[in-house]
Chains A and B, each alone.
Chain A
Amino acid sequence: MKTLILMLGMLLSLASLQTQAAFNTYDFADPVKKERFDKLINELRCTVCQNQTIADSNADLAKDLRDKVYVMINDGKSDQQIKDFMVARFTDFVLYKPPVKKSTYLLWTGPFIMMGLAIVFLIAYIRKRTRTPSPSIDEHDHERVQALLKEQQKDTRND
C-alpha cells in the first residue's frame, strides 16, 4: 500500500512537472500578451500530430511553432498577422477553426442543412399521422368488446 501511494505521488509530481515545462518557459512582461499567446497556441493545429493543438503537442515542430508565436507576439505582430503567417506556410489546415469561404461552405452549412431536412421530414411524418383517421368500430363490435372485457374482469376476480 505504501509503495502504491508513493508511486501515485511520483506520477502526480511528474505530471505537474510536465505541464509546467510546456508553459513556464514563455515569460511575458505584459499579461495581455501572455493571454494572446495562450489563446493562439490553443487555436493552431500541430501539423505532425494532427489531433493536437501546438499547445498540447510535445512534437518538436509544435515547440518550434510555439517559439515562433512567442517571438512574433513580442515583435508586436497582431493575432491576424500570426495566423496569416501560419496559413501561408501550412494552409488553413493549421487553424482549428477553418475560415468561411467557397471550399468550406458545405462544412459550415452542412449540419444546418441536415437539421432542416430532418425537421421537414419530421413535420411531414407527424402531419400524415394526424390526418389518418383512427379505425372506427361498429355497434356490433363494440358490444363484443364490452362483453369480453366483462368476462376478463370476472376471471381476474375469481383468481
Chain B
Amino acid sequence: MKLRALIPLLAFIVLVILLAIGLTRDPKKIPSPLIGKPAPQFSLPAVLQPQQQVATADFIGKVALFNVWASWCAACREEHPLLVEFAKQYDTPIYGLNYKDQRADAIRWLEVFGNPYVNSAFDLQGTVGIDWGVYGVPETFLIDKKGIIRFKQIGPITMDVLNNEILPLIRQLEQES
C-alpha cells in the first residue's frame, strides 16, 4: 500500500527529469543534414572584385572553413575578431559567403573590422544560402579535402567551440588524404 502511494511521486520525478533535459536543448539548433555530404556547388561574384568568381571548386583539395556572414548581422560582429585572429594564426583558409548584404556595406565592414577571408562570395539573393541550408547568420562549415562537409556551427564561433571542436577536427582532417 505504501509503495503504491509513491507512484505519483515517481511519475512526477520522471516528468521533471524529462522536462529538465528538454530545457537544456536549444530548439533553434537544427541538425544539419549536410554533414557527411559534399558541399553544395555554387559560383558567385566576389565581394571585393565583382568580375572575379568564387566557387565551391576553390576550396576543394584542402581543409577549409566556409563562413556565412553579413554586415547587418550583429552576432557576426561578435564573431569577427576571432576569425581575424584565426586567419593570422593558422594556415586553414577561410572562405566567406556574404549573405543578403549590400556590396558597399560589406566592403566597408571588411575595411573596418579586417578581412580574414581568402575570398568572399556575394550572395545578394540568398539562393546559395538556401542551398547550404543557412537559416541563421553566422554559420560556419568545416569542409575536408574531398569537399565533404564535416562540421557545422550555427551562430557565432566561440573560443570554446574553436579550441574543443574545430581545431581538433582540423588536425584530424589534415591527416586524411
| B28 contacts the other chain (CB 8 A) | yes
| B135 contacts the other chain (CB 8 A) | yes
Query: What is the 8 Å Cβ interface bit string for chain A, positions 49-82, against chain B (1 contact, 0 not)?
Result: 0100000000011001100100000000000000
Q: Check A90/B28 contact, CB under 8 A, given A60-B100, A60-B126, A61-B126.
A: no
Q: Most chain-B Cβ atoms within 10 A of its Cβ — which of A60, A87, A88?
A: A88
Within 8 A of B (CB), among A19-41: none
Which chain B residue has the least Cβ–Cβ distance from A46?
Answer: B135
For B31, list chain A residues within 8 Å (CB): 91
Chain A: minimal CB distance from B65 (Å)? 20
Do B135 and A61 have beta carbons less than 8 Å apart?
A: yes
Do A47 and B130 have beta carbons less than 8 Å apart?
A: no
Do A48 and B33 have beta carbons less than 8 Å apart?
A: no
For A60, list chain B residues within 8 Å (CB): 100, 126
| B78 contacts the other chain (CB 8 A) | no
Do B135 and A90 have beta carbons less than 8 Å apart?
A: yes
| B109 contacts the other chain (CB 8 A) | no
Q: Check A88/B33 contact, CB under 8 A, given A60-B100, A60-B126, A65-B130.
A: yes
Contact of B33 among A47, A50, A64, A89 (CB under 8 A): A89
Contact of B27 among A50, A68, A88, A90 (CB under 8 A): A50
| B151 contacts the other chain (CB 8 A) | no
Docked complex Cα distance between A91 and B152 (Å): 14
| Number of residues of chain A lying within 8 A (CB) of chain B | 14
Contact of B30 among A65, A68, A88, A93 (CB under 8 A): A93
Query: What is the 8 Å Cβ interface bit string for chain B, positions 31-52, against chain A (1 contact, 0 not)?
Result: 1111000000000000000000
For B30, list chain A residues within 8 Å (CB): 47, 90-91, 93
Query: What is the 8 Å Cβ interface bit string for chain B, positions 90-133, against chain A (1 contact, 0 not)?
Result: 00000000001000000000000000000000000111011111
Do B100 and A48 have beta carbons less than 8 Å apart?
A: no
Contact of B135 among A47, A68, A88 (CB under 8 A): A47
| B136 contacts the other chain (CB 8 A) | yes
Do A48 and B136 have beta carbons less than 8 Å apart?
A: yes
Question: 18 extra interchain contacts, Cβ-Cβ under 8 A, other than A48-B136, A64-B126, A90-B133?
Answer: A47-B30, A47-B135, A48-B135, A60-B100, A60-B126, A61-B135, A64-B125, A64-B127, A64-B130, A65-B130, A68-B127, A87-B33, A89-B33, A89-B132, A89-B133, A91-B32, A91-B33, A93-B30
Q: Which residues of A contact B (CB under 8 A)?
A: 47-48, 50, 60-61, 64-65, 68, 87-91, 93
Supply 27 A–B pairs (Cβ within 8 Å), ascending by A: A47-B30, A47-B135, A47-B136, A48-B135, A48-B136, A50-B27, A50-B28, A61-B126, A61-B135, A64-B125, A64-B126, A64-B129, A65-B130, A68-B130, A87-B33, A89-B33, A89-B34, A89-B130, A89-B132, A89-B133, A90-B30, A90-B33, A90-B135, A91-B30, A91-B32, A91-B33, A93-B30
Q: Which residues of B contact A (CB under 8 A)?
A: 27-28, 30-34, 100, 125-127, 129-133, 135-136
